[in-house]
Structure 1
Amino acid sequence: MIDSALTNLLLNFLFIIVGLLAFALYFDFKKKTPSKGIVIILSTFTILLCVLFSYKLTAGVYVDLRRIPFFLASLYFGPQVSFVLMVVIILLRYLFIGSGLIHLVILNYFITFLILAAFSNGFLCAKKKVKMLFTVVICFIMTIFNLVFGYVYEAEISRNEYIYLVLIPLVATIISVMIAEMIRKLIIMRRTLSQHEKLQVVSQLAASISHEVRNPLTSSKGFLQLVREEKDEELQKQFIDLSLKGIDQATHVIEDYLTFTNSTPDKIERINVKHSIVELIEMVEPLAQHVSFSHQLIDDIYVEGQAHSFRKCIGNIMNNAIESMPQGGKLSVEMIVNENLIIAVTDSGLGMTKEQIQRFGEPFFTTKDEGTGLGVMAANIIVHSMKGNIQVKSELNRGTTVYIELHKSLNLDAG
């Protein structure tokens, strides 16, 4: 008898542990606490397995651990879940075990439901020791209830076996509550960490915007003050031009930030890739005097997206490559066509470590002494908004290649 009862109770305990792990995995995967519906489904499945592996003491009297998932779900998720699971337990008991002594099962679980419903609100606020003590007392009462009726109906159970059948449910209850509390604490810690990270990002974003926008606006303000005091018209024009450049610089910074709020193109266009890259090189090359440019581009290749965003994406990658070559070097842009289009931007600059490659595209991460890393992040967002992919290969002091893979658009002009 002991071997059979031990096997069934240990299997019951295994089902409960698996149910708790499933709960934790759901939270880890979905990043949110399971709804009451999910809790009822998980608990019902666990209870079903416990009922199927019940140990029969005598006709109508069975020993198992189905009460533990009932306790946990009731106390952590409230009376509604508790009532549904009470009905589920009674139905499963009737369907899989039979109608013998079903009235006692109904009475037992209904009284327990009333107790759990009364204490469910205070349970969550209680200390862990109080929670464990409360569930152990309820489990002990229900276990004794079963064993007393086993005795009344003349089940052949020795004194040692009574102790044995009481001990396992109590230990299983204690361990289950400890695991449930551990999962609950991890969920709270995850939420707190997530909120802290969001606040940190907001703080960094605010500081970055302040720094990036204030500098050009401050210089513009200074030049405009000089215009008011300066009598020479030529100098006034120079100061006005410098002021306009500062305002344009601040505008570009704001546009980069707006990229993060709109990852889906408003208006889809067919973009001639070669023409867009050639225009970018013609704009950038005069400003990068110590960098030599080369390109291998293919005619009549199109992608779909926003032309302005696409040019900003490639331009940010090219600017990043140029800034990685402070002493000068080579920058090449190559188009590779297979099933998709691959744009490879290669520089001979400082390169990156493995850790820097892994963090490529993260907000506020940069390998430069001055910078926010938002240009690369903007490029990353634009590529993904075009349903593309971006990868990096780099070695320290041997340069970097950024691969941008995009879906080709059909050439409607062909033929």
Structure 2
Amino acid sequence: MENLLINILFVLLPILIFQIFYINTDSKYKNILLATVFSISIIICMNFTITNYEGHFFDLRYIPFVLGALYGGKKVAIFLYFVILVYRFYIGGEGFYIAFIDSTLLLIILLFLLIPKYQTYSLKTKISGTMALLGIVAIISLITCHTLFGFILHAPIVLLSSFVVAQALTMGLSVYFLEYLITMDTMKKQLYHNEKLKSLSEMAASISHEVRNPLTVTRGFIQLLKSPGIDDEKKITYLDLSLQELDRAESIITDYLTFAKPHENIELELLNVTAEVNYVANLMEPYALMQNVSITKEFFIKESYFLGNKKQFLQCLINLSKNAIEAMQNGGKLEFKVNKENEKITIQLTDNGVGMSSEQIGRLGVPFFTNKEKGTGLGTMVAFSIVKAMKGEIKVKSRVNEGTTFTISIPESVSTSDKED
């Protein structure tokens, strides 16, 4: 009984390896993997025989042989066939001839009957067919033993029947597990594919909607310009509004492309964090004053450098600053703080605006999620994408009606002057 359980364990072990490695392995290595793991399973089964009755070894070696052949193809089948014969010859004894007859019969059935059409069968047919095959082979093996050596009549009936039943049931169970794993993997891939299509369609629809709005407004102003009797002042107003709407459409497309395009090939340079943050704070000052927002800066380090793309980093800070200013609808204060912790540069942007709930924080960085009436969510999405490309991270703390703090952490780099020193 102990060796029977060991046989079953090492028959099922390749199936677990199949789940972990085979499904996600390149096609050129799949058959090599299958041949290797099922060969090991065959050898272990032959080492731990269920029983050895007068020189004939009872074990489950043919189950990994059939599984490897059916799921690996003809080359794997032939390889496993020789593994069985070579190792059985190494063990020795007259039982080698029985192994030769059994394995040769199985190989012929597999190569010419089962392997070519196996994948077209239903699960029920696969299970019942393989169980019947192994059961018949076991019976043929016993009959051949009796014909050649005449010991079957003296062997316990329970031993012989349990061997046939155990082999057939383990075969059916193994096929069921393998087919279940393959089905789950297929469903997983299909679900992933459907999710990608769904995300793509949602993003396409959202972009179309966001871009169509400013274009519709622009079209309306252009139509008004064609009306007779419009004075020059209104014409200038309509043209200015049309240009603003076109700029908004361009901004949406630019933000989307910044997020969508890969960051692997961007030019990187050493950037002085205090200089860049100071530049953005000064740049946003006029816009902040228009919104009745004051900007303060605190630099706890004089000079600290990181590796990044200047244009994209400035865009990231500008997007977050603009969002923070617009979150303070009745005015307020935007604070910039620059510090260093554990060899990482930290940049904090704190406002005392409307704040966010935990649910809203969890959705930050998702395309077209926004808390602003006329926002698209692309600005925040781009900011998250840029920081991630610089191997950094953004953490957000916020309370509704109290304010929000964005903390950017970026790995520090050594400046050229520091290296020379």
User: Residues 234 and 368 of structure 1: is their aligned pair in 2 closer, same or farther, counting only changes over 3 Å?
Assistant: closer
Task: Say yes or no: does 1:388 pair with 2:392.
Answer: yes
Partner of 1:53: 48
Partner of 1:113: 107
Residue of 122, 128, 131 corresponding to 2:123:
128
Partner of 1:319: 322
Partner of 1:281: 281
The answer (yes or no) to whether the contact 2:335–2:351 under 8 Å persists in 1 is: yes
Superposed CA deviations along residues 149-204 of structure 1, whole A, max 9, x for unmatched, are 44443376201111111221222122212212211221111011011101101101
Aligned AA (1:136)? M
Deviation at 1:115, TM superposition (A): 1.9
Task: Say yes or no: does 1:63 pair with 2:66.
Answer: no
Q: TM-score, normalised by structure 2?
A: 0.85
Deviation at 1:228, TM superposition (A): 4.6
Superposed CA deviations along residues 45-79 of structure 1, whole A, max 9, x for unmatched, are 33333233223424552222222222223223322
The answer (yes or no) to whether the contact 2:135–2:165 under 8 Å persists in 1 is: no
Partner of 2:262: 262
User: Residues 235 and 89 of structure 1: is their aligned pair in 2 closer, same or farther, counting only changes over 3 Å?
Assistant: farther
Deviation at 1:219, TM superposition (A): 2.4
Task: Say yes or no: does 1:24 pair with 2:19.
Answer: yes
Supply the distance in 2 between the matched residues of 1:353 and 1:45 (Cα, whole angstroms): 56
Task: Say yes or no: does 1:305 pair with 2:299.
Answer: no
User: Residues 369 and 224 of structure 1: is their aligned pair in 2 closer, same or farther, counting only changes over 3 Å?
Assistant: closer
Deviation at 1:116, TM superposition (A): 2.1
User: Residues 369 and 61 of structure 1: is their aligned pair in 2 closer, same or farther, counting only changes over 3 Å?
Assistant: farther
Aligned AA (2:106)? T
Aligned-pair Cα RMSD in Å: 3.0
Residue of 75, 85, 88 corresponding to 1:93:
88
Partner of 1:187: 185
Partner of 2:296: 294
Aligned AA (2:240)? D
Partner of 1:3: none
Deviation at 1:145, TM superposition (A): 3.3
Aligned AA (1:205)? M
Supply the distance in 2 between the matched residues of 1:106 and 1:36 (Cα, whole angstroms): 24
Higher mean C-alpha deviation, range 216-225 or range 148-157? 148-157
Superposed CA deviations along residues 311-339 of structure 1, whole A, max 9, x for unmatched, are 12222333343454445544322212131
Partner of 1:411: 415
Aligned AA (2:12)? I
Supply the distance in 2 between the matched residues of 1:93 and 1:380 (Cα, whole angstroms): 62
The answer (yes or no) to whether the contact 2:98–2:145 under 8 Å persists in 1 is: no
Q: Secondary structure at the match of 1:146?
A: helix
Superposed CA deviations along residues 72-93 of structure 1, whole A, max 9, x for unmatched, are 2322332233223323333343
Superposed CA deviations along residues 370-415 of structure 1, whole A, max 9, x for unmatched, are 6554333322221222122333344555543332221223233567
1:178-217 equivalences under 5 Å are 178-217=176-215
Deviation at 1:365, TM superposition (A): 4.3
Q: Secondary structure at the match of 1:408?
A: strand
Supply the distance in 1 between the matched residues of 2:85 and 2:331 (Cα, whole angstroms): 79
Supply the distance in 2 between the matched residues of 1:147 and 1:292 (Cα, whole angstroms): 93
Residue of 14, 31, 37 corresponding to 2:32:
37
Superposed CA deviations along residues 264-317 of structure 1, whole A, max 9, x for unmatched, are 242223323233323333343443415443322344333222211111222233
Deviation at 1:359, TM superposition (A): 4.3
Supply the distance in 2 between the matched residues of 1:127 and 1:149 (Cα, whole angstroms): 32
Task: Say yes or no: does 1:400 pair with 2:400.
Answer: no
The answer (yes or no) to whether the contact 2:270–2:415 under 8 Å persists in 1 is: no
Q: TM-score, normalised by structure 1?
A: 0.86
Aligned AA (2:298)? Q
Partner of 1:170: 168
Q: Secondary structure at the match of 1:407?
A: strand
User: Residues 369 and 52 of structure 1: is their aligned pair in 2 closer, same or farther, counting only changes over 3 Å?
Assistant: farther
Aligned AA (2:297)? H
User: Residues 82 and 385 of structure 1: is their aligned pair in 2 closer, same or farther, counting only changes over 3 Å?
Assistant: same
The answer (yes or no) to whether the contact 2:215–2:249 under 8 Å persists in 1 is: yes
1:247-258 equivalences under 5 Å are 247-258=246-257
The answer (yes or no) to whether the contact 1:265–1:305 under 8 Å persists in 2 is: no
Residue of 136, 141, 146 corresponding to 1:141:
136
Supply the distance in 1 between the matched residues of 2:338 and 2:364 (Cα, whole angstroms): 22
Supply the distance in 2 between the matched residues of 1:361 and 1:45 (Cα, whole angstroms): 49
Partner of 1:237: 236
The answer (yes or no) to whether the contact 1:341–1:405 under 8 Å persists in 2 is: yes
Higher mean C-alpha deviation, range 159-168 or range 56-65? 56-65
